[in-house]
């Protein structure tokens, strides 16, 4: 039996304007896998939050900084990111890379770099992406995946796995049974 303090916390970050879109469906499957492995899962719908773009003031990087100087919903997100053991990041491909919502969140996560406890080190990450073209290269999905790989390798986080697939209409990704199974298994490995 798992003790309460041994339960892994997983934070899902939905970076699509569609709450029930294809990337969200993949993230939900990963989350179900994590829950089946005993994790506690919380989901944030980034599009529904008030998150301003980084203003490059570098206040977050100065010695003795208390973090990002922008007082918006990202302050809530920072606390949840720090309290989580693992993250599931979900995004559709928009114009050859991740969605603007996902990139906005990622840019603002820069404020976590100077933290004494190294907010990224040891985090386990799963990536879920959907795209309209049949090819992950032509669609730009590979560009986004490479961005995640480079960024998280740089900060010492571990990408446990990535699931991605082609689907245009909301919900269409569910037809890809092997991808849905792969997402569920990724969630189990995440924790």
Interval 71-94: pLDDT, tens = 999 999 999 999 999 999 999 999
SS3 128: strand
Find the mean pLDDT for residues 15-38: 97
Paired residues of 11 in beta bridges:
42, 87
DSSP letter string, 71-107: -STHHHHHHHHHH-SEEEEEEEEETTEE-HHHHHHHH
3-state secondary structure of 18: coil
Q: Is the pLDDT of residue 2 over 50?
A: no
Q: Are 28 and 50 in contact (CB under 8 A)?
A: no
Domains: count for the chain: 1
Look at the alpha carbons of 16, 188, 123, 126 in this order and tell me if their dihedral is positive or negative.
negative
Q: What is the dihedral of CA 30, 33, 35, 36, to 10 degrees?
A: 170
Percentage of the chain lying above the pLDDT 70 cut: 96
pLDDT, one tens digit per residue, over 33-49 is 999 999 999 999 999 99
Measured distance CA(76)–CA(105) in Å, rounded: 12
pLDDT-derived band at 64 (thresholds 50, 70, 90) equals: confident
100 lies in which domain range? 4-190
Residue carrying structure tokens 């301003």: 52
Instruction: Say which CATH number the domain at 15 has.
Output: 3.40.50.360
This prediction has a pTM of 0.94
Sign of the Cα pseudo-torsion (13, 150, 124, 189, in order)? positive
Which tens digit of pLDDT belongs to each residue from 115-143? 656 788 889 999 999 999 999 999 999 99
């Amino acid at each position: 039996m798992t003790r309460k303090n041994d339960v892994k916390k997983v934070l899902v970050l939905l970076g699509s304007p569609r709450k029930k879109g294809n990337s969200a469906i993949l993230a939900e499957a990963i989350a179900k896998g994590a829950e089946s492995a005993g994790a506690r899962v919380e989901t944030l719908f980034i599009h529904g939050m008030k998150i301003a773009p980084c203003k490059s003031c570098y206040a977050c990087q100065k010695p003795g900084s208390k973090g990002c100087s922008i007082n918006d919903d990202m302050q809530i997100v920072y606390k949840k990111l720090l309290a989580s053991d693992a993250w599931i990041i979900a995004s559709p491909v928009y114009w050859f890379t991740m969605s603007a919502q996902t990139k906005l969140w990622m840019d603002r996560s820069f404020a976590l770099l100077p933290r004494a406890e190294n907010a990224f080190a040891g985090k386990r990450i799963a990536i879920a992406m959907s795209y309209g073209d049949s090819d992950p290269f032509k669609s730009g999905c590979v560009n986004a995946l490479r961005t995640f790989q480079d960024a998280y390798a740089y900060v010492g986080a571990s990408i446990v796995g990535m699931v991605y697939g082609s689907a245009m209409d909301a919900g269409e990704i569910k037809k890809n049974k092997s991808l849905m199974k792969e997402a569920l298994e990724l969630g189990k490995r995440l924790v």
